[in-house]
Amino acid sequence: MPQSVNVRAIVIQGLSVLILCAIIEILTGNVMEGMQERITVTLPGLILVIPPLLDLRGNVNGALASRLGTALHTGIVEPKLSMTDELKINVVSSLILSLAASASIGVIASLIGLLFGMSIINFVALIIISVAAGFISGIILTALTVVISIFAYIRGWDPDNITAPLMATIGDLITMISIFIVVLFV
């Protein structure tokens, strides 16, 4: 028998998360504003990796959130913070995908910069920034995705309404902060 859909709950959960996401995106913009000189002057070419790294975080963690939501609803993953085999497979595969894609973004950004004759920081530095920021944000966001998915499910909220949009937005903020921290050391 199909479960009834509670439109009110979906709208309240969705709207609440979207308002929170808007606030977080404003904070992300402030972090990027604080990096403006490093992005445009000190580390030319860095702007080439920022949009794809931000998208990557949302894509990888959004997919993880969706898989966890389905696994929680179907009982494959229990709503507790214990590293089951299913959870471990999802976490490890997300982290591997994140690192591989971060390295690819660094390489592709360097090649595009060279192709268009842009003055960019050296090839290795751009890849190091991409991978290091991807690693830092990947670890933090993967843990947050698991915790928020399980917390939402325990509270009776649909993780699909909460976790994916929230992680895409938190991912932007955490990734910008990670990039900022990494460029301080480059």
Domain boundaries, the chain: 7-184
Q: Is 53 a residue whose pLDDT tops 50?
A: yes
How far is 29 from 67, CA to CA, in rounded Å? 29
For residue 117, which of 48, 32, 50, 183 has the smallest C-alpha distance?
48
Residue 42: which pLDDT band, with cuts at 50, 70 and 90? low
55-79 tens-digit pLDDT: 888 889 989 999 999 999 999 988 9
User: Which two three-digit tokens encode residue 20?
Assistant: 């929170």
Report the predicted TM-score, pTM, of the whole model to 2 decimal places.
Answer: 0.82
How far is 87 from 180, CA to CA, in rounded Å? 30
Counting every residue written for the chain, the total comes to: 186
Q: Is 2 a residue whose pLDDT tops 50?
A: no
| CB-CB neighbours of 142 under 10 Å | 20
120-179 tens-digit pLDDT: 778 888 889 999 999 999 999 999 999 999 999 999 888 888 888 888 888 888 988 898
Assign domain 7-184 one CATH number from 1.20.120.1200, 1.10.357.20, 3.20.20.70, 1.10.10.10. 1.10.357.20
How far is 9 from 15, CA to CA, in rounded Å? 10
